[in-house]
Chain A
């Protein structure tokens, strides 16, 4: 029983981080209807930003953390202004290709700047594992989960109550009408890209803190994809629930099936669940039907 609980607890912890990265997709998709296939690379770059500020420049963790948010917001902003703004009204497939191209560019840049050597952060949290009842959770997982959930909550509150959040939802709902309210729709796109980049970068930072960083960390972005699709591309609540489901399934599959099945069950299991859920709910658990147009 305690083995089971431990798998679930670790699944929840990882799932929380997945949810945050999934938000990176959702925030951008919701406002602009673009699936950013460079989300994983935004994540990876975010982790390298943190490495740069903390290890290379020797800043304390908190200022480094804040600078990561600022720099990744800037990255999102530049990408939107310089590239995607000019793709407005182009076919979806072209826009998808652009984001895939962007992911390769970011990967190349990262190798150029930081080399492909393995890097890691100095310990950020007390080493001792966190023990809840009979369940033991590694401290990096536990604190990563806490930070991820705090970030997700902050985004959710911003979306729900802040003026810019309401304006972004209005834009997502009806662009023409948003324009007619005096909302600068294009700047809402920019804000969405900046926020999506922040979410991804924070996720990357947490993941990097758990397992170290390399330029190919960005490939994790694709493993997050089931999370996003599960929850429905346009729903914050969906990203959270999807994150937990994938995290838990992954851990249970890894824990119980590993000895019986050859290959990487842990990575495969979420996709199996994904297919099953999509068979029942084609738009994801929380998605709106319009997503179909993709």
Chain B
């Protein structure tokens, strides 16, 4: 596998992990990935490929779902994460925005945001970051006092990302931020994700089924099938890959790129589709 990080050690390194649920279901079968500091890295794949499982393995949530890392290890900022619980990882700068947003519906927007800043001490900085959230997501300012359960899906996603921002993580992991949102809103949210990465210097690991939008903001991508990485590379290279075009970007195989057909090993990869 080619490496994303060159000289500098990556902020996150997942090394050949195996994950088993309920002691029997092998879901990740030797998965490795690297996230270089400052980058946006996309982790793509279809339903059930194991993307969310990968994030949960990193963020310490597996034991809560009766899952276990049975082989391999994960390093964050050079430190082995074995045995650390989710709330401890947040304090180390690793924050996961869970699939389906998981906002606190019975709490107000204000209280939700306060929960995002739960681990932080410096109130002045939190207030400054809150202003930034309002700049990125103006609707949150208008809905500041309302119950989060009454927000629209898009606003809830904005809230979920803002909570992450208020935690000031070194690495933010987003699990399908496009889920259930209208296409226009998806564009907007991803544009903001890109800005957050550049302006706040937050490294981002992005899990998506929507490959086109995810690759539009990322610099490197991994494609998973069935618990393994089947293809990875810089985004420019992935975008030119015929199978990626065909199966993930929804472009027809006929689209003038026939030359790729001749390359044998691309055919071999067709089995990802199973």
Q: Which of B87, B102, B111 contacts A182 (CB 8 A)?
A: B87
Residues in B whose Cβ lies below 8 Å from that of A174:
102-105
- The verdict on B115 contacting chain A, using a C-beta distance below 8 Å, is yes
A-B complex: 8 closest residue pairs judged by Cβ atoms? A182-B90, A177-B102, A182-B119, A179-B86, A173-B104, A181-B115, A173-B106, A184-B87
**Using an 8 Å CB-CB cutoff, how does the interface string of A158-191 with B read, 1 for contact, 0 for none?**
0000010011011011101111111111000000
- The verdict on B118 contacting chain A, using a C-beta distance below 8 Å, is yes
Distance (Å) between the CB of A174 and the closest chain B CB?
6
Are A169 and B111 neighbours in the complex by a CB distance under 8 Å? yes
User: 30 A-B pairs, CB-CB below 8 angstroms?
Assistant: A163-B114, A167-B118, A169-B104, A169-B106, A170-B107, A170-B111, A174-B102, A174-B105, A176-B61, A176-B98, A176-B102, A177-B98, A178-B104, A178-B115, A179-B61, A179-B64, A179-B87, A180-B59, A180-B96, A180-B98, A181-B87, A181-B118, A181-B167, A182-B86, A182-B119, A182-B167, A183-B87, A183-B115, A183-B118, A184-B85
Residues in B whose Cβ lies below 8 Å from that of A178:
104, 115
Q: Give me the interface of B with A, judged by CB distance under 8 Å.
A: 59, 61, 64, 85-87, 90-91, 95-98, 102-107, 111-112, 114-116, 118-119, 163, 167
Distance (Å) between the CB of B184 and the closest chain A CB?
27
Residues in A whose Cβ lies below 8 Å from that of B105:
173-174
Who on chain A is nearest to B108 by CB? A166
**How large, as a class, is the contact surface on chain A?**
10 to 19
Q: Give me the interface of A with B, judged by CB distance under 8 Å.
A: 163, 166-167, 169-170, 172-174, 176-185
Distance (Å) between the CB of A39 and the closest chain B CB?
24
Given contacts A170-B115, A182-B167, A183-B115, contact A177 B87 (CB under 8 A): no
Residues in B whose Cβ lies below 8 Å from that of A163:
114, 118
Are B107 and A181 neighbours in the complex by a CB distance under 8 Å? no
Distance (Å) between the CB of A186 and the closest chain B CB?
9
Give Cα distance in the complex from A173 to B147, angstroms: 12
Residues in A whose Cβ lies below 8 Å from that of B104:
169-170, 173-174, 177-178
Give Cα distance in the complex from A181 to B96, angstroms: 8
Are A182 and B64 neighbours in the complex by a CB distance under 8 Å? no
Distance (Å) between the CB of B174 and the closest chain A CB?
12
Who on chain A is nearest to B103 by CB? A177
Give Cα distance in the complex from A183 to B102, angstroms: 14
Q: A176-B98, A181-B118 are in contact. List 4 more A-B contacts (CB 8 A).
A: A169-B104, A170-B111, A180-B59, A180-B102
